[in-house]
Structure 1
Amino acid sequence: MKPRTAPAHRHRRSVSAWAPTAVLLLAMTTSCAGPGPVGGHAAAKPGAAGVGDRLFPTLGNGGYDVTHYGLTLDYTPQTNHLKGTAVITARATQDLSRFDLDLSGLRVRTATVQGSKAQFSRSGDELVVTPAKTLKNGEIFKTVVTYDGTPRTIKGDDGGLEGWIETDDGSTALGQPTGSMTWFPGNHHPSDKATFDIWVTVPRDEDGDFYDAVGNGELIAEEDKGGTMTRHWRTAEPMAGYLAHVSVGYFEMHKGRTHDRLPVYVAVDPDESADAGDVPHLVPEIVDWADGLFGPYPFSSTGAVVDHLPELGYALETQTKPYFAGAPDEALLVHELAHQWFGNSVTPRTWQDMWLSEGMATYAEWLWEEKRGGRSTDEIFEDFYDGTDDEAEGIWAFPPAAPPSGWRVSDPPVYGRGAMVVHKVRKAVGDDVFFDILRTWTRQHRHGNAGTRQFVTLCENASGKDLTELFDTWLFDKGKPSRM
């Protein structure tokens, strides 16, 4: 994520300092995807409502691991009405008497598990599903939920909008950090990634023209049914729920290829086409450049969605096609495309680890500016430290790895000071080791999840140096560090 106009913008200490994180990771592993009892089944019990993330304790669910979402959506822009069927394929990670799905708003009509009718109830943003038969540990099971209504737009404590957001010609679905649960039920913590198939059916408008519908991944099929058009988008690589995306409206579609023949899909709202003319050409250029620095591009296609939603105020790294609320400048485009490696393929294990995504993506901006003949990365670092960079305001408010609340994971310390941490690592280990660390990171954790402790360990192992003081000072300690 990156704001369009102003920063909006998670080492190693002693074992005791790491203990809360270790306990959290153990709880998440047990509740989300860990092995069940060995040698027989323990008594079935409900899956946990939430995975215990420090910043969003009730987000996500325990007892199962989702492997695939099949979402069939029927959307009418004129009335902002959504009708959906979610087919959720998952593996039980315990003997499971019931389980929760995250769902905010919308009316649930039916629910089945393994083809049999299931009981369900609602409690806040939790949809509690009780299958007709206990699910055994390790069992692959399929849940089907039908639902409809007017999807919610969420306004966070920071004033930002997410969820299902109406535009001047349709709508867009943006999920960071919790908005994805406004348009489909699921396990919406980033630690549970899955593949997606999304079918979006839209009607004709008053002039008889079909609305466009753009989603993650590749366009598999289009079916003209006379009065409606259905488009099928597929994401074959695992994706966190907050990165799932659908935009409905009017778009000019630009198709191309990168140097490595990777398909490029760029959708541009006609109101932004004059200012976004370079985007279809810049996307493959940036991806090819980043491929050389960060390792092979991790997905089957790339692109962008340039919408017209000026009041939104931010862009989002929706997987394979970052979303922009208006025509982006080069730095913003670089930032969101860099997230395809850092954040989308290698996804934070917890929301507290978000600095690994935003700091890396911000540092990619610094590298791009240097490549384009602007300031060097050393000069940008100094401008952030001195407060003369436009995005330096507020970067010392809290340590990057310790946002004080969930709604502050997009605040300046996570971005600007996060990038400063990355630069300090580079200066400490040297360029050859540094870029080897980045490529190793994206290779080892490709399509998975990783956290701060793993990054610190990789940096120290790759460099053969004790970097405790560096990470303590720049990543964990409060206040502005003295120069070192």
Structure 2
Amino acid sequence: MLATPRRRVRALLLTAASAALVAATLPGPRALGVGDRLYPLLGNPGYDVLSYDIALAYPGANDRPMEAVTTVDARTTRRLDRVNLDFTHGTVRSVEVNGAPASFATAEEDLVIEPDRALARGSRLRITVAHTSDPRGPAGAGGWVRTRDGLVMANQADAAHRVFPCNDHPSDKAYLTFRVTAPGSVTVVAGGRRTGLVREEDGARTWTYRSAHPMATELAQVAIGDLAVVERKGPHGLPVRDVVPAADREALEPRLAGTPDQIAWMERRVGGYPFETYGVLVADTRTGFELETQTLSLFERSLLTSEALPSWYVDSIMVHELAHQWFGNSVTPRMWSDLWLSEGHATWYEALYAEEHGGPPLTERMRRAYRLSDGWRAAGGPPARPDPPAPGRQLGIFRPVVYDGSALVLYALRQTVGAAAFERLERAWLSVHRDATADSADFARLASRVTGRDLDAFFDGWLHAPRTPPMPGHPDWRSDVPGQGPSAAADRAALPGGAAPGNSG
């Protein structure tokens, strides 16, 4: 039945009055989190994001904000009167929820949205936010990173919400689409694959990229600038595309040409590459780290052009980030305390590759790590229960204990169960949890099931104890007592391959 104008006005007034009454009973807007012990206000409860569509308008310079529209498609997991998104360092112009304007406020680094009516559990949810995305900011803050002639992203661990509104926690993976409009002289590349032709209009071009697999927000990547895209084939016809400063294309080619062989090397150990494409993104900037952004790993130009570093070392760092595509990207740690599952595995395969290509023997690296391990645990906590980062130092969780200290856990596990069982576990881990999230308890349970052994005591000691357990097969190995042995910081610097945050964001 079609209501008369008078009835429709009366109904609208009643709806508005009801909404005002509900709003009056709600507590004030506040920042929320998903219970991560290391980043308590990261992520938001009550919904599961299915996909993001992020449209950006790059003005041709990296010294002013971009206009942007982010659309979040999600499903509620409980009744919601409000919806929180992580977002900071940008201006919100407007918000719509399921096509209707919604009021919004900010609380710390949360955008708090109040739809015109409560959202029932299990309902579809579309949030459209018109906002700015600002590349200006202090160095090292994360999010957009300015390069010599453009921008790249470095969102780990908690900086994607400096770029676009999102549920910025690895436990909520989703599909991402980026639509970037930029001047015609600029090249834009993002994670995933380009969809269709580049659209041109009024001297500008719009580039669209979409991921074929879900990803954590910290793994998103967009590169903008005077870039060359070098395409080649990897194993089984895998599309490989490297993105480099145009001026460095020829100089970098000898280094990047080895990527297909590195992919094949990883596949022989853990199984098929898990995504639709891979490549190396070389940025002319200073970040202090390399980063495993999904399908397009980020590297500093200085690492790949250095003549002072041994070739095996540089290649092993490239394998570290490549290994993350399996460990960290395809199978993503559910909470940041599970970071060892990502960094420990990447360091493990980095060390194996180094051993086979002119670097130090794995046993030598692990013995040195064992000697330092008690100091690392004392300084930053055990591998699966790292200490929280200091205020203002969000990357502080990327400590030696989650790199070589966690590869040491894998070495001890292989010593305990044998090389064949260990390899079966690695492949099973990637198969069972592909495109999903998992935690330390999941890994321990699967290890016991695959090996047919009760490994609870092993993982309790190696992952959670304040002191390092004895190394199976090496009763002579000793770990320095903190404060009594050599300087851990100085000795750590000598570790082959490095386990400092420079390995991986």
TM-score past 0.5 threshold: yes
Find the counterpart in structure 1 of residue 399 from structure 2. 411
2:201 aligned with 1:218 = no
Gaps of 5+ in 1: 1-42, 205-209
Instruction: Using the TM superposition, give the Cα deviation of residue 396 of structure 1 relative to its aligned residue in structure 2, in angstroms.
Output: 6.0
Residue type matched to 1:427 in 2? Answer: Q
Equivalent of 1:399, from 376, 382, 390?
382
**Structure 2 portions without partners, runs of 5+:** 1-24, 305-313, 473-505
Aligned partner of 2:408 in structure 1 is: 420
Question: Is residue 95–residue 137 contact of structure 1 (8 Å, CA) maintained in 2?
Answer: yes
Pairing of 1:339-354 with structure 2 (within 5 A): 339-354=324-339
In structure 2, the CA distance between the partners of 1:279 and 1:67, relative to structure 1 (3 Å rule), is: farther
Structure 1 residues 187-196 or 458-467, which shifts more?
458-467
Query: How many pairs align?
Result: 429
Cα separation, 2, equivalents of 1:337 and 1:44: 47
1:314 has 2:289 as partner: yes
In 2, distance between residues paired with 1:473 and 1:92? 39
SS at match of 1:236: coil
Corresponding position: 1:172 with 2:152: yes
Q: CA deviation at 1:134?
A: 1.9
Identity %: 35
> Which residue of structure 2 lines up, in the alignment, with residue 40 of structure 1?
none
Could you say what secondary structure the match of 2:38 adopts?
A: coil
Cα displacement (A) at 1:269: 1.5
CA offsets 1:326-368 (integer angstroms, 9 cap, x no match): 2442011100010000000100010000000000000011121
Q: Equivalent of 2:263, from 287, 290, 306?
A: 287
Q: Deviation string for 1:192-243 (max 9, x for gaps)?
A: 0000110111125xxxxx1111110111131222421111111020000010
- Aligned to 2:236, the other structure's residue is in SS state coil
State which of 234, 237, 259 in structure 1 corresponds to 2:213. 237
Q: What secondary structure is seen at the aligned counterpart in 2 of 1:238?
A: coil
What amino acid maps onto 2:204 in structure 1?
T
2:35 counterpart of 1:52? yes
Distance 1:267 1:279 in 2: 13
Q: Give the Å deviation of 1:381.
A: 1.2
Higher strand share: 1
What value does the CA root-mean-square deviation take over the aligned residues?
2.3
Cα distance in 2 for residues equivalent to 1:62 and 1:442: 27
Q: After TM superposition, which residue ranges in structure 1, 4 or more long, deviate above 3 angstroms?
A: 43-48, 151-155, 270-275, 373-376, 391-396, 479-484
Query: For 2:175, which of 174, 195, 198 is the aligned residue?
Result: 195
Pick the aligned partner of 1:383 from 359, 368, 372: 368
- Of stretches 393-402 and 232-241 in structure 1, the one that deviates more from structure 2 is 393-402
Aligned-partner residue type, residue 333 of structure 2? P
Deviations 1:399-439 (A, max 9, x none): 11121114332111101110010111111111111111011
Richer in helix (by share): 2
Q: Which moved more, 1:451-460 or 1:474-483?
A: 474-483
Amino acid at match of 1:179: A
8 A Cα contact 1:47 1:61, kept in partner: no
Which residue of the partner structure matches residue 262 of structure 1? Answer: 238
User: What secondary structure is seen at the aligned counterpart in 1 of 2:240?
Assistant: strand
> Secondary structure of the residue that 2:213 maps to in structure 1?
strand
Aligned match of 1:61: 44
* Counterpart pick for 1:330 among 304, 308, 315: 315
Indicate the residue corresponding to 2:95 in structure 1. Answer: 111
Q: Deviation at 1:468?
A: 3.6
Does the 8 Å contact 2:83/2:112 carry over to 1? Answer: yes
Partners in 1 of 2:374 and 2:264 — Cα distance? 29
| Contact 2:98/2:127, CA 8 A, preserved across alignment | yes
The TM-score, its normalising length taken from structure 2, stands at 0.80
Structure 2 counterpart of 1:300: 276
Q: TM-score, normalised by structure 1?
A: 0.84
2:110 to 126, 146, 149: 126
Residue identity matched to 2:290 = A
How far apart, CA to CA, are the structure 2 residues paired with 1:476 and 1:149? 40
Q: Which has the higher contact order (CA 8 A, sep 6+)?
A: 1
Whether the 8 Å CA contact 1:48–1:99 is kept in 2: the answer is no
Go from structure 1 to structure 2 and tell me whether the alpha carbon gap of 1:90 and 1:273 turns closer, same or farther (over 3 Å shift): same
Partner of 1:32: none
| 1:435 counterpart = 2:423 | yes
